[in-house]
Amino acid sequence: MIEQHLNACKARVEACLVAQLNQLPRSEVQLADAVAYSLKVGGKRLRPALVYSAAASLRADLTLFPPNLTPLDLAAAAIESIHTYSLVHDDLPAMDNDDLRRGQPTVHRQYDEATAILVGDALQAWAFELLTQIDTLPADKVVAMVKELAQASGPKGMVLGQALDMQATGASESVDYLKQLHSLKTGALIRSALRLGAYCMNAGSKERRVLSAYGDAIGLCFQVVDDILDVTTDSATLGKTAGKDQEADKLTYVKLLGLEGAKAEAQHLCAQAKASVADLPNPQVLVELADYICNRAS
């Protein structure tokens, strides 16, 4: 069931992204083509799936994919735009200096470094434009969604986490430091995806807090599993260069806890995530997503 749900979410957000990409201006420069390349090279579209899944968890009778464009589609496209921007910039020579992303050449390898920087800049701004296209929710809700995504992706969230990650390379830090780092670098955007789904459903602060708690746990679980896969899986399966974290002496859960300790931590966080949403009207999809994230092979 969860694979079918993820495929449906992926198809829905990709249709929205293509429709929006077709509205970008074409010119003699290749920016629009490079933006499209960055978004079309694949990926699980997990963060968009969390937008849709959060909405589904709040109403058991929800028709998740009506024929018309919905706030959920634009929110899902916005979160994927921010996520893709972060990957494009993370792969740059000044950051992780990677050649592969989602099994394809990274943007700076496919085009050039300057184009990759501009692609990231464009995707970041475009995400907020997508949210402002939502016209079926009250204006104050749309403003709240813009603020939510900005805080999750900027100097209070993902970007701060990336800065902490770069500072920690080669350092000897604690597990608490690593949790703080990844709750920002990875967890902030995952948490935001769930909260955007809640805003689309006009959910109250209590529901948003529940989904935030789920996001906190599942965001950390996602990163722990990422660290495990970096040392146990090959590049072809991962779709990116395996072993990079170890080679660069990155601070990881495997480095601090050992492989078995990291696996135990992932299971603990998965259980914590599932318990946090037990009282929602329709928690099953989030429960299955937690298991999927914890047990994924790539």
CATH number at residue 195: 1.10.600.10
For residue 149, give both structure tokens.
Answer: 């995504």
Predicted local distance difference test score (pLDDT) of residue 222: 96
Whether the CA torsion 194, 197, 199, 205 is positive or negative: it is negative
Predicted local distance difference test score (pLDDT) of residue 185: 93
Give per-residue pLDDT as tens, 117-172: 999 999 999 999 999 999 999 999 999 999 999 999 999 999 999 999 888 776 66
Instruction: Tell me if residue 173 falls in helix, strand or coil.
Output: coil
pLDDT of residue 236 exceeding 60: no
pLDDT-above-90 percentage for the chain: 76
Q: How many domains does the chain have?
A: 1
Q: Tell me the mean pLDDT in the region 186-204.
A: 96
Give per-residue pLDDT as tens, 22-62: 999 887 778 999 999 999 987 899 999 999 999 999 987 77
Predicted local distance difference test score (pLDDT) of residue 237: 59
Predicted local distance difference test score (pLDDT) of residue 170: 64
3-state SS of 153-220 is: HCCCCHHHHHHHHHHHCCCCCCHHHHHHHHHHHCHHHHHHHHHHHHHHCCCCHHHHHHHHHHHHHHHH
Q: Show the domain range for 109.
A: 2-295
